[in-house]
Amino acid sequence: MLNKDTQEVLKAYSSISNSCIIQPVTVFVDEYKQVISNVELEKVDEKINEEIGIYDLSNFLNAISLVNEPEIEYDTESRIVKISNQNTEIEYLTSDPDILGKDEIEKYKRVIESTIKAPSVLEFNLSKDTINQIKKAKGVFGDFDTVFLKNTNSTNSFIVEVGIWETFSAKHNTVKFKVETDINNNQEFEVGIPIDSILKIPVTDYQCSVKYNEKRDEYRVTLQNGISKAVLAVKSH
């Protein structure tokens, strides 16, 4: 249980939230509820079949790293994770899943699934190279706070722009990337993802979709890769 690959996945997603309930499908929600992601740990570690509440994920992973090639066991009754090898043994007391919001977690799972199933007005590959370019742009222009997705009725490409959501000046710094699309229904829109949301997600390739709820006149952005699905809150003009 909790093999090295699983530990690496947990470490990557701890940038979204440093507390979680480790289970076959583990949910990470940032403090502002701008990023909601579920991770199918069962695809990485088939031995995960419990609900393990972790209040401080970084601390937990550091504890595991103290033991070379550990065997990891979890006792449901005591809520203790035993991390051991021939020479070392650690008993790590975990948190009560109910205190960590188990019921809320189930709600977030339903939100993710229902949003993913909604029709897309735009789909494209958000590559790790583009994410790294966005991070570099933020490093150069520290006041950048938004990643804009702008669709202007083009059938095979659109613009990803990094800049400032609200500005009193008509002129300000921007960085733009042209991205090829997989699905584009020619609906014109401009939505903004808080740049902090992009900085929190693991740097990898994603299938990105822009969802539109006509009844609510509301957009959402979803990200998917081989083991995770995420919903990002957006602003729209």
What is the tens place of the pLDDT at every residue in 170-183?
567 899 988 888 77
Q: State the average pLDDT over residues 105-116.
A: 96
- Shared domain for 22 and 82, answered yes or no, is yes
Phi first, then psi: what are they for 233, rounded to 5°?
-70, 145
- Shared domain for 90 and 123, answered yes or no, is no
- Shared domain for 138 and 174, answered yes or no, is yes
Listed residues 62, 86, 115: the one ending a domain: 115
- Shared domain for 127 and 81, answered yes or no, is no
- Shared domain for 144 and 211, answered yes or no, is yes
Percent over 90 (pLDDT), the chain: 76
What is the tens place of the pLDDT at every residue in 159-169?
888 988 875 55
What is the tens place of the pLDDT at every residue in 126-135?
999 999 999 9
DSSP letters of 74-141? EETTTTEEEEE-SS-EEEEE-B-TTTTTHHHHHHHHHHHHHHHHSPEEEEEEE-HHHHHHHHHHHHHS
Query: Across the strands, what pairs with 178?
Result: 159
Tokens of 5: 């690959």
Q: How many domains does the chain have?
A: 2
Q: State the average pLDDT over residues 116-128.
A: 92
**Are residues 108 and 29 in contact, defined by beta-carbon separation less than 8 angstroms?**
yes
**Between vectors from CA 146 to CA 143 and to CA 152, what angle results, nearest 5°?**
130
- Shared domain for 35 and 123, answered yes or no, is no
Range scoring the smallest mean pLDDT among 31-40, 46-55, 175-184, 186-195: 175-184
Res. 156: pLDDT tops 80? no
- Shared domain for 127 and 200, answered yes or no, is yes
- Shared domain for 8 and 80, answered yes or no, is yes
pLDDT band at 237 (very low <50, low <70, confident <90, very high): low
Tokens of 119: 């029709």
Listed residues 53, 83, 115: the one ending a domain: 115
Bigger pLDDT: 154 vs 61: 61
Res. 227: pLDDT tops 60? yes
> CATH code at 129?
3.10.150.10
**What pLDDT, on a 0 to 100 scale, did the predictor assign at position 136?**
95
| Residue 177 to residues 163, 180, 193, 200, Cα–Cα distance (Å) | 12, 10, 15, 20
**What pLDDT, on a 0 to 100 scale, did the predictor assign at position 169?**
52
- Shared domain for 153 and 110, answered yes or no, is no
Q: For all residues of the chain together, what is the average pLDDT?
A: 92
pLDDT band at 202 (very low <50, low <70, confident <90, very high): very high
Bigger pLDDT: 20 vs 121: 20
> CATH code at 53?
3.70.10.10
- Shared domain for 160 and 208, answered yes or no, is yes
Burial class of 48 by CB neighbour count within 10 A (0 to 12, 13 to 18, 19+): buried
**Are residues 34 and 194 in contact, defined by beta-carbon separation less than 8 angstroms?**
yes
Res. 112: pLDDT tops 90? yes
CA distance 120 to 128: 22
Q: State the average pLDDT over residues 88-97.
A: 97
**Between vectors from CA 34 to CA 29 and to CA 40, what angle results, nearest 5°?**
40
- Shared domain for 129 and 48, answered yes or no, is no
**What pLDDT, on a 0 to 100 scale, did the predictor assign at position 155?**
59
**What pLDDT, on a 0 to 100 scale, did the predictor assign at position 177?**
87
CA distance 9 to 202: 9
CA distance 108 to 97: 15
Listed residues 58, 92, 115: the one ending a domain: 115
- Shared domain for 201 and 137, answered yes or no, is yes
Cα–Cα nearest to 191, from 171, 173, 212: 212
Cα–Cα nearest to 204, from 13, 36, 43, 17: 13
Domain extent, residue 46, equals 4-115
H/E run at residue 6: helix 4-13
